[in-house]
Amino acid sequence: MTTPEPTSPPTAPPTISIAIIGSGIIGTILALGLLNLPSTPTSPKLSIKIYEQSTSPREIGAGIGFTATARKCMELMDPRIAACITAVATLNGEPSSPDYSMRFVDGFRTFPTAAGSEYDTSDQDISVHGKVYKLYAGPRGFEGCHRAHFLGEMMKLLPEGVVEFGKRVDGFGYLGGGGVRVSFEGGEEGVECDLVIACDGIKSRVRELLFSPAYNAKYAHQLAFRGLVPMDRAIEKLGRHRALKQHMHCGPHAHVLHFPVAKQQLMNVVAFVPDPKEWDLRQGMTAPASRSEVVDAFREWGPFVRGVIDLLPEEMDKWAVFDTYDCPVPAYAEGRVALAGDAAHASSPHHGAGAGMGVEDALALVAAMGKVREDVGRGVGVGRALDVALQAYSKVRYERSQWLVRSSRHVCRTYEWEAPDIGADMDQAFADIRERSHKIWYFDVEAMVADVQKECRRLMQ
């Protein structure tokens, strides 16, 4: 009888360690998407760790909204993420009949009129010069929420131990096998990993280390004055229609946005004004401000906008607008280090899509890592698969996200009647706003996923 030859036990699939820098909204969404990737017996395991410089979970105290496109990305990564928005979001309009349109009006020539007069319409409590321009944003397309509330809901979904706080990146270096060693400030013990993904925001330390300080975000010479108004006061002064629905008031060299938050208990007001001075980002992005600063900027505007400004609290914050318009990075990945969200393409807030663009990045990275697991499962080396995945991610995401940075600056000029060949013509302004907004909102995210996978296959040849 022939003795069968001994067989080797099956080799266990490798583990790929991923360090995500930053536990803000994009870093947390990315981690949840990666943790939710389906696995097979032969696919490598993913070890996910988030390193956050703050000592506890925190987000800036500002409102945020997501487009239907961003929600679709969340659904594809993990349906629970989109459910977190629903849990904390505030409907636009009356609770019994939500409105998913954004409204753009001439705020400079706004004036009150009596019912039945030349400019009176059924769509407003105080009429504007000519018309109200409504832009449908899709189902649940405009629902504001507080950044910290949304992040708090998502943090509940992360397994215990995934996030380590008090870890501010000091530097990184490449290991002999292509991996990365990340060091932290204050003598904190460094970590070794296969891949680093920086989601550390507009002041990204990793972006600075990966390229140079020349690519740090620059001041856009614009201030955003933010204030919260009790909704009962807003309704009393502005009427229910205006107070409970999002409105963008356009005019010369400034603009004002307001929308409901906190389950319609508050109206969030943001007034944008130019600032010729310089601002050092190292001092932070906010400073104390007074209502009188805003009153002066809108003194010549119509009575409705002046009424909105009068509702602001006497003491508030002003936020400096920074972006990477003047200093775009050449790529979103180099070696085994990648950038995502504001770390890759910080934009001004005028499209309200900066966070949504980061969510798209997260989906593209999840798709790329799904391809890595597939390739490694069929015998491709981990290093080769990761290199290809990051190159594919950078190529697929670069053009669209850099367009957003440029378009956000441009659409601000449209709001503020500074765009060439448009000026104060609100018909043309709205046409420009609609075209740019639709490019953001009507994006085929499933085709983007397919493009990432296709590019991975091309590079692997």
The pLDDT value given to residue 189: 81
- 28 found inside a domain: yes
Residues 238 and 285 in one domain: yes
Residue 278 · residue 305 · CB < 8 Å: no
Residue 288 and residue 267: Cα distance in Å, rounded? Answer: 20
Q: What are the mean pLDDT values of the chain's consecutive 10-residue runs (461 residues total)?
A: 50 90 97 94 92 81 80 96 91 83 89 40 45 84 79 95 95 90 88 97 96 96 94 91 91 95 90 94 88 93 92 94 97 97 97 95 98 94 96 98 98 98 96 97 97 97 88
Report field, pTM of the whole predicted structure over 0.85: yes
The pLDDT value given to residue 139: 76
Residue 2 and residue 450: Cα distance in Å, rounded? Answer: 51
Domain end position, chosen among 267, 291, 323: 323
Residues 283 and 342 in one domain: no
Task: Give the count of domains, the chain.
Answer: 2
- 429 found inside a domain: no
Residue 323 and residue 285: Cα distance in Å, rounded? Answer: 12
CATH of residue 114: 3.30.9.60
The pLDDT value given to residue 138: 78
Using CA atoms, how far residue 85 sits from 95, 152, 313, in Å, is: 17, 11, 28
The pLDDT value given to residue 415: 98
- 406 found inside a domain: yes
Residue 94 · residue 87 · CB < 8 Å: no
Residues 203 and 331 in one domain: yes
- 6 found inside a domain: no
- 3 found inside a domain: no
Residues 22 and 66 in one domain: yes
The pLDDT value given to residue 100: 85
Residues 234 and 293 in one domain: yes
The pLDDT value given to residue 111: 57
- 369 found inside a domain: yes
Domain end position, chosen among 297, 323, 349: 323
Residue 147 and residue 354: Cα distance in Å, rounded? Answer: 13
Residues 290 and 256 in one domain: yes
Residues 121 and 64 in one domain: no
Residues 368 and 396 in one domain: yes
Residue 106 · residue 251 · CB < 8 Å: yes
- Any idea which residues carry the catalytic annotation? 226
The pLDDT value given to residue 301: 93
Residue 329 and residue 205: Cα distance in Å, rounded? Answer: 13
- 452 found inside a domain: yes
Name residue, tokens 């990432």: 452
Residues 222 and 310 in one domain: yes
CATH of residue 171: 3.50.50.60
Residues 332 and 381 in one domain: yes
- 8 found inside a domain: no
Residues 123 and 222 in one domain: yes
Residues 33 and 182 in one domain: yes
The structure tokens listed for 228 are: 């919260």
Domain end position, chosen among 323, 356, 390: 323
Domain that holds residue 126: 101-136+218-323
Nearest to 21 by CA among 157, 188, 194, 205: 205
